[in-house]
Structure 1
Amino acid sequence: MSSQPPEPPPPNPTTAHGSDRKLRADARRNRERVLRTAQQLFATEGLGVSLDEIARRAGVGPGTVHRHFPAKEALYLAVATDQIRQLVAEAEALAASSDPAALFTLLSAMMASGAENVAVKSALVAAEFDLRTAAPDVAADLTRHVADLLDRAHAAGTVRSDLTVEEVMALVAGAFAAIRHIGAETSRDRSAHIAQLILDGLRPHPR
């Protein structure tokens, strides 16, 4: 009589799925930690910081960073896209409020975010990356929220009546260029002053 080794018990679906979810959650947390750390380091120390140094500061292994971002350009793009997602979340919160000046709050946040990460945006331009094509859904969401808040501001009379959303987005991009032109990337006061000059130009002129 031949004896065969017992078959291994089938995997417990609940345990397996739970482990998968935990791994996915851990991977997401690690990725977010890397993105936040990279954003801060790029803003304060420049783009020369290495992927290994970002991993060390984020408290993860170098393999984790290289697995998610095999090239520096991939990390630049992810940081810029993540910033837009944060701005979309802020726009959604503002849309849920009744503040007629919410447009100016959002534009201030957009300009501050861009000022802190103008180097990343410049690197993407140099690498011929365009966020509008690389992350079209996220970019479109932000533009849509700006348009909605602009409509609210028009109705409340808190913004020039002849202002279009295309002009608003162009002025925000222009603010980034102006901030970089005078080397104000590392000065929140100077970059905020430029942003305020632009925002003041969007308000109705007194008659």
Structure 2
Amino acid sequence: MPNQPPDPASAKPPTAQRSDRELRADARRNRERVLRAAQQLFATHGLDVSLDEIARSAGVGPGTVHRHFPAKEALFLAVAIDEIKQLVAEAEVLAAGKDPAALFEMLSRMMANGAENVAVKSALVAAEFDLRTAAPEVASDLTRHVAYLLDRAHAADAVRADLTIDEVMALVAGAFAAIRHAGAETSRKRSAHIAQIILDGLRPQPR
């Protein structure tokens, strides 16, 4: 029986296959480092931070940042989407528990995140970026998890009975605007106080 020609894929040296995977893994890690550095620098120093400064903080070369994010607006959007993904992961953990008041913990985290990154969110609004359009699956995931926590809070009478998920998400967005209007973006204490006032309004009303 004649020998079959070798499969080109299987003929590739194993060391080369591992190298490709390692390169892809390195690229993912570098991207995550850039996102973390950008998130911290934007929150601390505002949006005027240069891509080169972000590269230094992330411990990567400027070319790495520019390859992943050729424009600053692309980095703003990526940071915002990454923040939502982190919130989804936190919501999953809270949903796995049994605390009926976990809704308030989740909303508090969302408002704190928004307060720390209000500059990025404002930049996206100014550029007419809508995260619900730019990242519909991630935005939908977050809403779905918050809706689950809301349903559980309703079942335990831990939240006012007339509250809907659309109203909850609108109030979170409103909290960002209130914190920005009060000039409280740089004060965790003041932004947390504003968030607490809003959250108190979601609790069951005395009869």
TM bucket by the smaller chain? over 0.9
What corresponds to 1:158 in structure 2? 158
Separation of aligned partners in 2, 1:168 and 1:68? 34
SS across alignment from 1:202: coil
What corresponds to 2:196 in structure 1? 196
Moved over 2 A (4+): none
SS across alignment from 1:206: coil
Q: Counterparts in 2 of 1:7-18, with a 5 A limit?
A: 11-12=12-13, 14-18=14-18
What corresponds to 1:168 in structure 2? 168
Q: Counterparts in 2 of 1:174-193, with a 5 A limit?
A: 174-193=174-193
Separation of aligned partners in 2, 1:107 and 1:167? 12
Q: CA deviation at 1:16?
A: 2.0
Q: Counterparts in 2 of 1:54-73, with a 5 A limit?
A: 54-73=54-73
Q: Counterparts in 2 of 1:1-207, with a 5 A limit?
A: 11-12=12-13, 14-207=14-207
Gap runs ≥5 in structure 1: 1-9
Q: CA deviation at 1:59?
A: 0.6
Q: CA deviation at 1:11?
A: 3.4
Q: State the TM-score, normalizing by the size of structure 1.
A: 0.94
Report percent identity of matched pairs: 83
Q: CA deviation at 1:118?
A: 0.4
Root mean square deviation, CA, Å:
0.7
Separation of aligned partners in 1, 2:136 and 2:167? 19
Q: CA deviation at 1:133?
A: 0.2
In the alignment of these two chains, the number of paired residues is 197
CA deviations on 1:11-58 (whole Å, 9 max, x unpaired) are: 31x222211111111111111110000000000100000001100111
Separation of aligned partners in 1, 2:12 and 2:98? 53
The amino acid that maps onto 2:70 is P
Gap runs ≥5 in structure 2: 1-10
Separation of aligned partners in 1, 2:21 and 2:161? 50
Q: CA deviation at 1:206?
A: 1.7
Separation of aligned partners in 2, 1:18 and 1:97? 39
SS across alignment from 1:163: coil
Separation of aligned partners in 2, 1:99 and 1:18? 44
